[in-house]
Amino acid sequence: MTTGKLWDGRFSRANDQVMEEFNASIGFDIRLWEADIEGNLAQADALRQCGILTSEEWSAIVLGLQQVGQELADGSYRPGPDTEDIHMAVERRLIEIVGPVGGKIHTGRSRNDQVALDVRLYLRSRVGTLIELVSQLQTVVLKRAEAEVDAFLPGYTHLQPAQPVRLAHYLLAFFWMLDRDKGRLRDALRRADEMPLGSGALAGTAFPIDRELVARRLGFARPTPNSMDAVSSRDHLTETVSAIAILMTNLSRLAEDWVVWSSPAFGFVELDDAYATGSSMMPQKKNPDSLELIRGKSGRVFGDLMALMTIQKGLAFTYGKDLQEDKEPLFDALETADICLRVLKGVVETAVFSYERMRAAIEPGMYATDLADVLVRRGLPFRDAHRVVGELVAKAIARGCSLVELPWEEFAQASPLFKREDVSALSPAASTDRRNVFGGTGRNAVVQQLTLARASLKE
């Protein structure tokens, strides 16, 4: 009895139908079809180079592969559930088009090094897209920051009002987080930039394939130096999904801020209707579902990372079928980050800030550090200045007024170093502009940051 496979003469019985479904990966690795066609074309070139394929055979196979690619692209070829994976789907259709010579394409190659190649090619393409999407989000954030240099809002620690900051400074904090995310993705790509084809099942190919030439043809920096490592290691996938998980953490943190900010209690920002939803019951509601979904999907990507690490942690060298399970977490992480970046770009681009609500939320007590700094500049040790102003804060709380509403006599009694103008001159602009140190929230420092951010994007 035949098994229904293209190549296997070892077995006398076909797989049980349940086993066939269990073993198949075509339902998700169909995403690799472009990479598989590209890898097969490189394999055909390598086989011609070392004399396994004649020029006529090579030409027929190349034309056949191009046809398979076109059919997969336009949907005229749809591999059925009986096709185990994308590699067999492409090879089966190639043989149908060009005849038995199509079976030569797998000479000196295993599906182990084939899938390792396909995933690296796919990774390169999709991570490149993610890097571009991060840059697009950075561009929108930078544009908003450029327009908000003179807008002020409360800065928070422990979600408690802390000190006034410029809105541009807040937005640029997110810009630099994204910049590091982009760097991590680039680093992951750099370490994945090795070509595994020619590694065979685990011991390398027995045919004189010029792996350096194949690597150059496919745009890799070099071939993998060890065949066992090449077919069994997936740390480049783990590193990539780790970078994506950190990216999602950063997206989730901005989402959390803006979910809070969009509530009527804060009212700092209103999302465009295109990125909000209503309630099925309460007509007045405007829910920030775009941001809540980004926040929620971060947990999904964390699960993808944990799945990848768990799949690999006890896997003996070299290849095990366990590694079929590496693709769905990878695909999910890439696709989730992709849509989240696109949505957040639209959210940031169209959101409307309420400058009045932000400024009104800057409580007078947030100038406490400014008053302490005044005393320090006049010679008082900071710990003493901190105590003096802390006592004034306590008096204001006891009186039921703000710090700046205390009678002048209280300030004069607290320290002879105070002057009347120290209190009357307090403002968000004055407070922030005392912090013009590099990286600070002062106007000059923020303008400097904007220049650095523009330069970073140009790189």
Q: What is the CATH number of the domain that holds 409?
A: 1.10.40.30
Q: Flag whether 12 is in a domain.
A: no
**Domain holding 85: CATH number?**
1.10.275.10
Inter-residue contact 189 to 124 (CB < 8 Å):
yes
Q: Flag whether 135 is in a domain.
A: yes
Which of 92, 107, 122 terminates a domain? The answer is 107
Q: What is residue 24's predicted lDDT score, i.e. its pLDDT?
A: 84
Does 139 lie in the same domain as 37?
Answer: no
What percent of the chain shows pLDDT beyond 90? Answer: 89
Does 146 lie in the same domain as 57?
Answer: no
Distance (Å, whole) CA 165 – CA 162: 9
Which of 107, 134, 156 terminates a domain? The answer is 107
Q: Flag whether 374 is in a domain.
A: yes
Does 198 lie in the same domain as 55?
Answer: no
pLDDT above 90: residue 194: yes
Does 378 lie in the same domain as 338?
Answer: no
What sign has the CA pseudo-torsion 103, 105, 106, 107?
Answer: positive
The number of residues making up the chain comes to 459
**Domain holding 176: CATH number?**
1.20.200.10
The domain tally of the chain equals 3
Residue 17 CB coordination number (10 Å) = 9
Q: Flag whether 9 is in a domain.
A: no
- Which pTM was predicted? 0.92
Q: What is residue 81's predicted lDDT score, i.e. its pLDDT?
A: 80
Give the domain range for residue 425.
364-458
Does 328 lie in the same domain as 254?
Answer: yes
Does 193 lie in the same domain as 47?
Answer: no
Does 173 lie in the same domain as 76?
Answer: no
pLDDT above 70: residue 2: no
Does 138 lie in the same domain as 78?
Answer: no
Residues 205-261: tens digit of each pLDDT = 999 999 999 999 999 999 999 999 999 999 999 999 999 999 999 999 999 999 999
Distance (Å, whole) CA 297 – CA 411: 51
Which of 85, 107, 129 terminates a domain? The answer is 107
Does 309 lie in the same domain as 374?
Answer: no
What percent of the chain shows pLDDT beyond 70? Answer: 98
Q: Flag whether 39 is in a domain.
A: yes
The set of catalytic residues is: 158, 279
Q: Flag whether 11 is in a domain.
A: no
Q: Flag whether 276 is in a domain.
A: yes
Q: β-strand 160-166 against 152-157: which pairing, if any?
A: antiparallel
Does 316 lie in the same domain as 189?
Answer: yes
Q: Which distant-in-sequence residues (6+ apart) come within 8 Å of 322 by Cβ? A: 311, 312, 315
Stretch 278-295: mean pLDDT: 91
Q: 277 has which bridge partners?
A: 287
